[in-house]
Amino acid sequence: MIRHFARREWWADAVFYQLYPRSFRDSNGDGVGDLDGVTERLDYLSALGVNALWLNPVMVSPMADHGYDVADPRDIDPLFGDLTALDRLLAAAHARGIRVTMDLVPNHVSSAHPWFLEALADPSRRDRFIFRDGIGDAPPNNWVSVFGGPAWTRVPDGQWYLHLFDSAQPDLNWEHPEVFEDVEKTLRFWLDRGVDGFRIDVAHGMAKPPGLPDMSLTDNALLRNKEDDPRFDNESVHEIHRFIRRVLDDYPESVAVGEVWVHGNERFARYLRPDELHLGFNFRLVQADFDAAEVRAAIDNAMSAADLAGAVPTWTLSNHDVEREVTRYGGGARGLARARAMALVMLALPGAVFVYNGEELGLPQVDLPDEVLQDPVWERSGRTERGRDGCRVPLPWSGDAPPFGFSANPDTWLPMPADWAGLTVQRQDADPSSTLNFYRRAIELRSRRPEFDGGVHWVRDGAFTRDGGLRCVLNTGAAPVTLPAGEVLLASGPLTGGLLPPDTAAWLV
Ligand code: BGC
Ligand code: MG
């Protein structure tokens, strides 16, 4: 497969670092990470070699869904700092050649947003949301929330409002012109301040089908929708993306990457048409087991989905919504070895790569006790789904005990495991074979070496080449395999006697 991109944009082969601001670094001792904490650690990110940051939401929010419930889209929540803290971060990041993108949440707002308070108080002001009368005492239709439970909540005067996520996240009515006007104001507000683009939350949501027909209730897995799910992927969502793109086009070099969970490549590619999103998250690698044939199928699928639209592919092994990959691949030393091998595969591919904070330290998922869980999924699922807190535990920086230099406050917003002393940045800095030094080297080679160029050609499952001359081999089997001839640029673990051991990958030229 040979790939031709029309123009070489900065994001076309960028490494984005997804930063969960609550968990990266706390500068003011309240136990929660913040923007000045990010600014303090920019040299760390610069040494890691990333080209851009994606900040999860930092706008004003009651934090029912940790910032994905936005009450004021054009200001920073005091928990994270203020607008001047963002300005400091932007200036310091740009000075290091690192771009900064933010999360945009256009599908819903917080129930504390002034529009929603107005709607509650005055039934004639409800048209910016999706309010309906019920059917007798039942909600208007059978839709369920992605977080569990019904997607409708009743207000005291008897009407119901729609929320595809938590009841504190009422869905906006994108048929209302003020919704467009307000989102345009928000986009320009941040772009004018120097932000380099957005990750668009639930980019397949926003538009709702006429008449709000019932859904089939057989599968409601988190953020995974089926072909016939009327809650998502409705035709008029594309008008919304074209509108967002027109605004971004006023800011050369800005980028929009959408969270697009849709059924099938044709549907996916529609979001990446030249006048819609620049990039779309593809989650196939997140869903693939550690198996050479599955990994190959996921890569081929993601490349052909992007190809359908002439777009750049994207790669991600984890994010703030999914179990950390070390644990997904089996946990312990073996899970870590596999996660490192997969990182090498991912960083060998053409396109934009997203590294989720802590991935570069090989952090595992944390098994948290019930009483500290905060994700609304836990309560909304009737305490049957533990939710996403286990992948959001703060990063360990230094020292031998929690809070490991993340904060001056031992009472961090989620407890940090006592056995993370060996995973701190300080410890890994000093160890040439650490996961951190491995990531640094891999990103450096990817950005510097000419071999990382052109398309992907499969030699067999678990082995591909790039036009530029790179060879990437992955061993997901139980026995060592022979390495191809050539110079080993980097391996994800020790190589023994010219062989590639199980759970290991290598780059050769
Ligand atoms: C985000 C989630 C968030 C949800 C609702 C997503 O897909 O990634 O973290 O809970 O949208 O905004
Ligand atoms: Mg703080």
* Residues whose beta carbons lie less than 5 angstroms from ion ligand 2: 26, 28, 30, 32, 34
Pocket test for ligand 1, best of 59, 66, 223, 356 (most atoms within 8 A of CB): 223
pLDDT at 2: 39
Mean of the pLDDT values across residues 95-121?
98
414 dihedral zone (left: phi>0; alpha: psi -120 to 50; beta): beta
The confidence score (pLDDT) of residue 7 equals: 53
CATH topology of domain 114-162: Oligo-1,6-glucosidase; domain 2 (3.90.400)
Q: Across the chain, which distance is largest between two alpha carbons, in Å?
A: 76
What's the confidence (pLDDT) of residue 54? 98
Question: Any idea what DSSP says for residue 172?
Answer: B
Task: Supply the pTM of this predicted model.
Answer: 0.96
d(CA 328, CA 357): 16
Q: How confident is the model at residue 417 (pLDDT cuts 50, 70, 90)?
A: very high
3-state secondary structure of 46: helix
Cα Rg of the chain (Å, integer): 23
Which atom of ligand 1 is the closest one to the Cα of 320? 9
Percent share of the chain, pLDDT over 90: 94
Q: In the chain, what percentage of residues exceed pLDDT 70? A: 97
Class of domain 454-508: mainly beta
Residue with tokens 């009743």: 154
* Residues labelled as active-site residues: 201, 259
Q: Which residues form the pocket of ligand 1, taking CB atoms under 6 Å from any ligand atom?
A: 65, 68, 105, 165, 201-202, 223, 259, 320-321
Tokens 């026995």 belong to residue: 479
Nearest ligand by distance to the CA of 36: 2
For the chain, residues classed under CATH 3.90.400.10 are 114-162
Indicate if the pLDDT at residue 126 is higher than 70. Answer: yes
Alpha carbon of 28 to ligand 2 centroid (Å): 5
pLDDT in tens, 18-74: 999 999 999 999 999 999 999 999 999 999 999 999 999 999 999 999 999 999 999
201 alpha-carbon distance from chain centroid = 9
Q: What is the per-residue pLDDT for 8? A: 80
193-224 pLDDT tens trace: 999 999 999 999 999 999 999 998 865 554 45
Residue 134 CA, chain-centre distance (Å), reads 35
Which numbered ligand comes closest to the C-alpha of 391?
1
| Residue ranges matching CATH 2.60.40.1180 in the chain | 454-508
- By CB atoms closer than 10 A (0-12, 13-18, 19+), residue 444 is middle
Q: Which segment of 130-139, 218-227, 290-299 scores lowest on mean pLDDT?
A: 218-227
Q: Within 10 Å of residue 274's Cβ, how many Cβ atoms?
A: 10
Residue nearest to atom 2 of ligand 1 (CA): 321
- Of 321, 342, 351, which Cα lies nearest the Cα of 462? 342
Task: Locate the ligand 1 atom nearest the alpha carbon of residue 165 and give its number.
Answer: 5
Average pLDDT, the chain: 96
CA 235 to CA 380: how far, in whole Å? Answer: 29
Question: Distance, CA 89 to ligand 2 centroid (Å)?
Answer: 15
Please give the pLDDT value at position 225. 56
pLDDT tens, position by position, 224-244? 556 679 999 999 999 999 999
The model's pLDDT over 315-332, given as tens digits with 9 standing for 90+, comes to 999 999 999 999 999 999
> Which atom of ligand 1 is the closest one to the Cα of 108?
12
Residue 209 and residue 164 in contact, taking contact as beta carbons nearer than 8 Å? no
Token readout for 143 is 């839709």
Quick one: pLDDT band at residue 3, thresholds 50, 70, 90? very low
Give the span between the Cα atoms of 323 and 281, in whole angstroms.
17
Q: From the options 3.40.50.720, 3.90.600.10, 3.90.650.10, 3.20.20.80, give the CATH code of 15-106+178-212+220-448.
A: 3.20.20.80
Query: How far apart, in whole angstroms, are the C-alpha atoms of residue 341 and residue 210?
Result: 47
Report pLDDT for 4: 46
- For CATH 3.20.20.80, list the domain ranges present in the chain: 15-106+178-212+220-448
Task: Return the ligand 1 atom nearest residue 166 CA.
Answer: 5
Range of weakest confidence among 139-143, 379-383, 425-429, 499-503: 379-383
Q: Fill in the amino acid letter for 379.
A: E
Q: Is 204 helix (H, G, I), strand (E, B) or coil?
A: coil
What pLDDT does 496 receive?
A: 85
Per-residue pLDDT band at 311 (split at 50, 70, 90): very high
- pLDDT, residue 5, reads 45
C-alpha 22 – ligand 2 centre gap (Å): 8
Q: Ligand 1 pocket check: which of 19, 58, 68, 200 to mutate, most ligand atoms within 8 Å of Cβ?
A: 68
DSSP 367: -
Residue range 429-457, pLDDT digits in tens = 999 999 999 999 999 999 999 999 999 99
